């Protein structure tokens, strides 16, 4: 699994001109799933994200996590995170898992994140043409790959 984690002042996801998820202070997570991903990847990634110290403490030092700040989260499926650009100018998405594999893993990740945070999280709509709007705070953008845990 690959995730792009962005600290946001606000974020929203719109499908068919209707806002389906919206948060203020928190994180927007773009997540890409590949065939080899497992429940261990889900648990590790959710734990890493919920405990990632990217929010400022009283001394304006990034020392607080999403758990510490009780911030919100939105998770958006993003198969293009597994794009290969080695040949030509048209990206290949062969490493991205097909829906029969990625949808259950995506849903499991959302449930794990909700469990770890102790609250509901917003989501995009899997496979839909989504409009994702965000105000990146910092900016803080971190890329996490479960294949590079060490």
Domain of 12, CATH number, reads: 3.50.80.10
Q: Is residue 149 very low, low, confident or very high in pLDDT (cuts 50, 70, 90)?
A: confident
**Strand stretches in the chain, DSSP E:** 2-15, 18-23, 26-32, 55-56, 62-64, 72-77, 122-123, 130-145
What tokens were used for 38? Answer: 């497992």
- pLDDT tens digits, one per residue of 90-132: 999 999 999 999 999 999 999 999 999 999 999 999 889 999 9
Active site residue 79: yes
Query: Is a pLDDT exceeding 80 seen at residue 89?
Result: yes
| Per-residue pLDDT tens over the stretch 3-55 | 999 999 999 999 999 999 999 999 999 999 999 999 999 999 999 999 999 99
Q: Strands 26-32, 72-77: parallel, antiparallel or unpaired by DSSP? A: parallel
* From 78, 112, 123, 146, active-site residue: 78
Is 123 one of the annotated active-site residues of the chain? no
Query: Rounded to a whole number, what is the distance in angstroms from the first to the last CA of the chain?
Result: 15
112 is catalytic: no
Range of the domain at 85: 2-148
2/84 Cα distance (integer angstroms): 13
In whole angstroms, give the CA distance from residue 29 to residue 114: 13
Domain count, the chain: 1
Has residue 150 got a pLDDT over 80? no
Q: Which of 6, 14, 79, 112 is catalytic?
A: 79
Q: What is the pLDDT of residue 127?
A: 86
Q: Is the pLDDT of residue 80 over 90?
A: yes
């Amino acid at each position: 699994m690959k995730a792009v984690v962005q600290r946001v002042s606000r974020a929203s996801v719109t499908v068919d001109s209707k806002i389906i998820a919206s948060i203020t202070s928190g994180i927007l997570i773009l997540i890409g799933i590949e065939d080899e991903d497992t429940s261990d990847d889900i648990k590790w990634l959710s734990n890493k994200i919920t405990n990632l110290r990217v929010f400022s403490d009283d001394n304006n030092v990034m020392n607080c996590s999403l758990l510490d700040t009780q911030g919100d989260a939105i998770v958006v499926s993003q198969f293009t995170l597994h794009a290969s650009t080695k040949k030509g100018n048209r990206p290949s998405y062969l490493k991205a898992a097909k829906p029969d594999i990625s949808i259950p893993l995506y849903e499991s990740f959302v449930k794990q994140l909700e469990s770890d945070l102790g609250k509901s999280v917003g989501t995009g709509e899997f496979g839909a043409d989504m409009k994702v709007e965000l105000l990146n705070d910092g900016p803080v953008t971190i890329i996490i790959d479960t294949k590079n845990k060490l």
